[in-house]
Each structure stands twice: as C-alpha cells, then as structure tokens.
Structure 1
Amino acid sequence: MTEQPDPAHAPRIPVIPTVLVTLAVLVMIALGVWQLQRRAEKAEALALAAANPGRPAVAFPKLPPVEPDILFRPSSVHCLAVESWQVEAGRAADGSTGYRHVAHCSTGAEGPGVLVAVGVGQKPDDRPAWTGGQVEGWISQEPDHRALLTRLGGKAAPLRPMLIARQAPAGLKPVAPPAATDLPNNHLAYAVQWFFFAAIAVIIYILALRRRNTQKSA
C-alpha cells in the first residue's frame, strides 16, 4: 500500500508574499521589454542625429526635451549674461582632452535661460573671460547626471538643451563638434539589468521558501 503524504507536513506557499513577489517580477520584466523597445527607437534617433550637423540651421529650443530631428543641428543663441559656470570633462576639436566650461546664461527678464559649452581648458578652476553675446554652434544636451535607477525606470527628467559653441573665447579650445557616438545606446544593457533583477528576485524567493519549509518541518 502506497504511503500517503501527511498534509500537515506538506510545503506551504504564503499567498500574499508570493503575489507581491510575482507582481514585482512582472514589473521588472515589463521594464526590460520596454527598454528593448526604446533601444530600437534610440537607434533611429542616432541615425537621424548623425546627419543633422550638415543640415540647415534651426531655432534653438527653449525647453526640453531635445527632439531627434533637431539634435546636433546648427543653431545660435544670445547669452545676455553669464550667471554661473559648470565644469565637466570634455574633448576639444583638436582631439585633446580637458575640462569643458559650460556657461549658464540668462536670456532676458523671463525664461529658462540657456546653457552654452563655450570651450575646453586645461584647468578646472579657471573661469573664462567671456561674459556673453551671440553664439553660433550646434544643438546638444546638458551633461547627464541623472541617477541610474531613475533612468532605468524611465522616470528621469529630460535633459535640457545646450549649445556647443563653434568658436571658443581666448584661453580655451573649441569644443569638439557633436557626433552620434556621443550618445550611447544603453537600452540593451538596461533591459538585461531588469531581466537580471527579475531572475535574482525569483531565486531569492525560492531559497527563502525552502528555508522556511525546512525550518517548519524540523
């Protein structure tokens, strides 16, 4: 006669924690799939941006986001006054590296102002002797300092437009013209990370259930 398992010692799966973990895993998988879709969209945007520097000039955008059809297009702005400076690692047009000086400019009594990457220097604490004026260059985006998890979840605020100046003031080198290679397509890596998080969550929960059932049966 076959021995029947004792229902009292059968492994039990807690309902509420299992539902919560399942929902979390489904959300992570959905975010991974969404990043794969964004990867295809980003590839199209990069192809468009690669051709934009040679296209006719357009008006500089006042607000983010910078649409792919104008990214890297020639444009110009008028910096009424430099309110502050921002320093980032950067590359000059001659291929050398240094510190890119970004001016935060006012454009009038009202309005969001404008960012202008005016040139590349060798010392981060130097302040260019540039106080503003009319600037010609290419439309780009501000340096991206958004948190990784915020970007992974697609909740990051859009990057503000920034003009890369064609000419640099005295003491600085011109900034390297924008190129599509400056915009990496990281969406595949983001998708893999979300799928990895989902797999780890499942493994951890299974191990936790086994440990729980082992302790109860002991």
Structure 2
Amino acid sequence: MTEPTDVAPARRWPLVPTLLVLVAVAVMIGLGVWQLQRKTEKEALIALFQRNTAMSSLVTYPKLPPVPDAVLFRKSSVVCLEPVQWDPRSGTDRKGTAGIRMIADCRTGAEGPGVLVDVGIGDDFTPPAWKGGDVQGTIVPGPEQPTVMERALGKAVPARAMLIADVPVAGLRASAVPSADNTPNNHLAYAGQWFLFAAAALVIYILAVRRRLRP
C-alpha cells in the first residue's frame, strides 16, 4: 500500500504587489501622454514666437510679470529715466563673441516698477557711463527665471521682461537676441522616457513573479 503524497498548493500571483505595479505603470503612461500634449502646446508657442519675431510694429512694454506670450520677441520702446542698478552677466554679441551683458534696472517714474534693459556687451564688468534715455529693442524673458525646484514646490515667482536694445550704448557691442527657434521642446523625448520606464517596470515585474512561481 502506497502512502499518499502531499501536493504542494498552486502558487498564485501576489495581489497587492501586482496592483501597486499596475498603478505605477498607469501613472507613468499618463505622464507620457501628458508630455505629448505639452509637446503640441510648445510647438504652438514656438509658432507664436516666430510670428512675433517677424512683426515690426511696437507693443507696450509689460512692466509687471508674468510676461504675456503675445508680446515676447516683439519690438517695444521704453524711456529709462535713470539706471538705478546694473546687473552684469555673461553673454554674446550679435557676431557670437563672448562678453559681459550690461543689464540696467531703470527707473521710469516716481512710482511703480522699473524696466530691465540690456544695453549691450562689454569686455569687463565695468558699467557704461550711460545716464538713461529712449531705448528701442526686443522683448525677451528676463534673466531671473524660476528654478525647476521652485516650480515643483509652487514657489516660482514670475520673471520680469527685459528689453534688448537694438542699438547699444556708446562703448558697447549689440547683444545677441535669443531666437524663438531655440525655445526648448524636449517633451517628445520625455514622453518616450516615461513609456520606456512603464514597459521596463512591467517586464521586470512579470519576469520576477514568474521566476518566483516556478516549482
């Protein structure tokens, strides 16, 4: 008479870990779809900037942030009564030669915010002997842009606009104007990364569970 043999219970897929992985995969796929939507929005924004660049008519300089997209890369003019502060920063002139951008924070009246004006490129950090005046140029985003961490934490302060002078002040070279074509649009790559992460997580989890369920 033979003894009955014990039959090992069939192993099942772990419920809770599987649900957690599926939720994580769904979130990553959702982020990928969101990046594709952002890609379409950014392409429309770049097209707007390109149209703005082609316009020669003047618009009112936006003294208060946030700067409307409709005026970025448009021509404008301001009256700088007096440069109250200089903010020298690295930059290039319109021939691609590196130098120091001379950015003036100008007073425009007794009250209210001033305007930022890039009056040209110098060879050192010494501000020009410029006392103010009429300036015509191109509206671009100001140099003080919020960081990624500030945006993620909801603490981002909108950046001011800046006017890059068409004609530099005496002793300086004309600063290069950013091209609308250089507006970053990496959302397709970001979407691909999220989809790849989702696929990798799913494949790795399936292989790990199948290996665990082997008799």
Paired letter, 1:96:
T
C-alpha displacement of 1:181? 2.6
Q: Is the 8 A contact 2:77 2:135 kept in 1?
A: yes
**1:62 corresponds to:** 63
With normalisation by structure 1, the TM-score equals: 0.71
Paired letter, 1:51:
R
Question: How many Å separate the matches in 1 of 2:202 and 2:149?
Answer: 21
**SS of the counterpart of 1:184?**
coil
**1:130 corresponds to:** 130
Q: Is the 8 A contact 2:145 2:159 kept in 1?
A: no
Question: How many Å separate the matches in 2 of 1:150 and 1:23?
Answer: 28
* CA 121–27 in structure 1, closer or farther in 2 if over 3 Å, else same: farther
Question: How many Å separate the matches in 1 of 2:163 and 2:29?
Answer: 37
**2:186 corresponds to:** 186
What number of residue pairs does the alignment pair up? 209
Paired letter, 1:74:
K
C-alpha displacement of 1:57? 0.7
* CA 154–40 in structure 1, closer or farther in 2 if over 3 Å, else same: farther
Q: Is the 8 A contact 2:146 2:158 kept in 1?
A: no
C-alpha displacement of 1:75? 0.2
Long gaps (5+) in structure 2: none
C-alpha displacement of 1:153? 9.6
* CA 27–62 in structure 1, closer or farther in 2 if over 3 Å, else same: farther
- The root-mean-square deviation of aligned C-alpha atoms, in Å, is 4.0
Question: How many Å separate the matches in 2 of 1:160 and 1:2?
Answer: 80
Question: How many Å separate the matches in 2 of 1:157 and 1:135?
Answer: 26
With normalisation by structure 2, the TM-score equals: 0.72
**2:9 corresponds to:** 6
* CA 23–159 in structure 1, closer or farther in 2 if over 3 Å, else same: farther
1:174-206 residue CA offsets vs partner (Å, 9 max, x unmatched): 112342233232332343444455566x37994
**1:96 corresponds to:** 97
Question: How many Å separate the matches in 2 of 1:169 and 1:186?
Answer: 37
* CA 114–29 in structure 1, closer or farther in 2 if over 3 Å, else same: farther
C-alpha displacement of 1:79? 2.6
C-alpha displacement of 1:34? 2.2
* CA 3–163 in structure 1, closer or farther in 2 if over 3 Å, else same: farther
C-alpha displacement of 1:74? 0.8
